A and B are shown apart, each in its own frame.
Chain A
Amino acid sequence: MATAEQVAKEAEQSDVRARWLLSAPALLIILVAATGPLLIVLVYSFLTPGPYGDVKWQFSPEAWVSVFMERDIFDDTLSLAAAHITIFWRSIKLAVVTTIATLALGFPTAYFMATRSEKTRDIWLFLITIPFWTNLLIRTFAVLQIIRNEGIINTLLIKAGIVSAPVQILFTDTAILVGMAYVYLPLMVLPIYASMEKLDFRLVEAGYDLYANRFQVLRRIIFPLVKPGVIAGSILVFIPAIGAYVTPVVLGGGKNMMLSNLIELQFGQGRNWPLGSALSIAVMIIVMVALLAYVRNAGRTEVRHG
């Protein structure tokens, strides 16, 4: 005779089995689609490049060495690969500055939106998402039109008599930064807005009531409470920014390369698939380390109180 307890336990077990069984197809697709290509990239990074692209199935750590080092053609000595390091540094720097810029612009935007009436909020939300309707390339070319030497900004500056010759913005790091900040701004605004919308503004009133001025209310009450949104927004901006491809090509003019352009080069003209693979994995590691450090740090400041 099965006791009620046993029956319940068995029912629960079969329930768990059914759950796994039903989600198996989806899990399989996710597993294969997400980890499969990554595994191939990882394997390729330890192989030897073929003469016309592709790989030779022969183990070699050379690609990983080449990520930061370069081998002298004549005497095989290793030295730091200055070009790669410059590109790494530029990518990290631009991604960080883009994140900060979008945060500086996105936080007030989200605050503005969240403090509107419910009806107008939806309109603002709609307006924020409009850029997503257009192709990234077209948006980037639009930025190019604005910042090029004969573009709106320079024309206005010259007409206003502020400068006599056009300011060179296009094909500089600034151009890439402007382009990325514009393209990724909604990715910062939306998660912050989502947190801000849930914020109980009576807490803001309570803050004012307890002698906190506007800045103190922002720092001590609003910011800690919307921090999850800020963290999510920063991650959403930082990851695509460090891997940006189109923006540096169009606005950087190909001479201010970022990591994605370097990787593309290895798979295209460079015909060095293993190096491309190694660089890809290296970028992933950098992103993971950066995010871990960021989330940990953000978590710690939450506990801190001064």
Chain B
Amino acid sequence: MVTIKTGTHLPTRAGSLNGVIVPEQPGKNAIEVRGVRKVFGTGENQVAALDTVSVSIRENEFFTLLGPSGCGKTTLLRLIAGFDFPTAGEILLHGQDIAPLPPFKRPVNTVFQSYALFPHMTVAQNIGFGLEMLGKPKAEIEARVAQMLKLVKMEALKARRTSQISGGQQQRVALARALAPQPKVLLLDEPLSALDYKLRKEMQIELKRLQHETGITFIFVTHDQEEALTMSDRIAVMSAGKILQVGTPRDIYDKPAERFVADFIGETNFLTAAVADMGNGKARATLKSGAVIEATVADGFQPKDSATVVVRPEHAKLVKGKGDLSGSVTNVVYFGTDTHIHVQLDSGEAFTVRQQNTRTAGCGFEVGDAVGISIGNDAAQVLRD
């Protein structure tokens, strides 16, 4: 287990007090992406990797771009890093347009998916490279490299070639190398995807610690929804070159705006409903079973006859008698911590309920049982699409 240690604080740009980050300019945006389009190829082979994306990333924020492969998240990261240039739009760093600047003139560093460590240099040389290129004095470079080695706990291996260390250690060196020049923003391109499960868990905690201690804005790209939920301050869910929703992990999970978001993150039940009586972000949804439940409504919802309502499996309750929905149990799957009970609804829709397990009692339901499902007033969300 990695324990979060204090006392290895870096002198942060923003300054820290007892580990609490005090931003220089509270509430300011570190990165602002305005109407950015990126088109690859020409003529008929044109592909819009990013289709007019706008997003603001705050200072000292752990911001995650989440989406399946090919959704444009890495393209957006590369535009911020400067490896590609946008077809249209602006990218502001602390209010200054950096879109036309080459990568070596941007105070932004990247942790690459492949780490991209220089194989002809030692661990220490790799970490010091950025500072050296910035023309820092030798003594300062040495001190900073020593500090970074300590931060990522790699002091013992500083003289090794990067080919002589393990994947997890390479990961740490890549992090140290990118953090050493004290960038305003750190970009991380699926940095944990090459690590095995246990190491990945450790590095997740490690990354949070580093972000906390350095006070640097992290922009993290991943396709792993669990990773996104556990690590991020805010998440932008992307699909097909667009940002579908930006919000805190809780927002994204509990109040998904679109079907894609609800489906991509966690497991969800989709129900068709007639939605009425909107106001104050709330609505009355009439389900196919006739039951009426209160639900929250996604931003940008346009009133229509038939909308989709989502209910997370753990937010619904299975009952023996009559509930909001009724149906019969088709499958009971034991998962250790909980049990998933699949129900075929009388309306023809499928519904899954997740029930917390206890040590002594079984789940109480068997395949074929006629059951009811009760949905609380705070359990449902109406999607905008």
Contacts and interface: CB of A to CB of B under 8 A. Distances in A.
Contact of B116 (A200, A216, A302): A200
A118 B178 CA distance: 31
Contact of A210 (B102, B119, B120, B129): B129
Contact of A305 (B81, B104, B121): B121
Nearest to B109: A209
A225 interface: yes
Contacts of A302: 120
Contacts of A112: none
B114 A210 contact: no
B156 interface: no
B40 interface: no
A224 interface: yes
A10 interface: no
A202 interface: yes
A208 B83 contact: yes
A211 B130 contact: yes
Contacts of B114: 200, 202
B83 A206 contact: no
B103 A208 contact: yes
Contacts of A125: none
A216 B133 contact: yes
B133 A221 contact: no
Contacts, number: 62
A35 interface: no
A212 interface: yes
A205 B133 contact: no
A284 interface: no
Given A224-B120, A305-B125, A211 B110 contact: no
- Please classify the interface of chain A as helix (H, G, I), strand (E, B), loop, or mixed, using the class held by over half of its residues: helix
Nearest to B130: A210
B134 interface: yes
Nearest to B113: A202
B121 A206 contact: no
Contacts of B103: 205, 208-209
Given A209-B103, A210-B130, A213-B133, 15 more contacts: A203-B118, A203-B119, A205-B116, A206-B110, A206-B112, A207-B118, A208-B82, A209-B108, A209-B178, A210-B109, A210-B129, A210-B178, A212-B104, A221-B118, A225-B119
Interface of A: 200, 202-203, 205-213, 216, 220-221, 224-225, 302, 305
12 contacts: A202-B114, A203-B116, A205-B83, A205-B112, A208-B103, A209-B82, A211-B130, A220-B129, A225-B119, A302-B120, A305-B121, A305-B125
Interface of B: 81-83, 102-105, 108-110, 112, 114, 116-121, 125, 129-130, 133-134, 177-178, 181
Top 9 closest A-B pairs, CB basis?
A210-B130, A206-B116, A211-B133, A208-B103, A202-B116, A212-B133, A224-B120, A209-B110, A211-B104
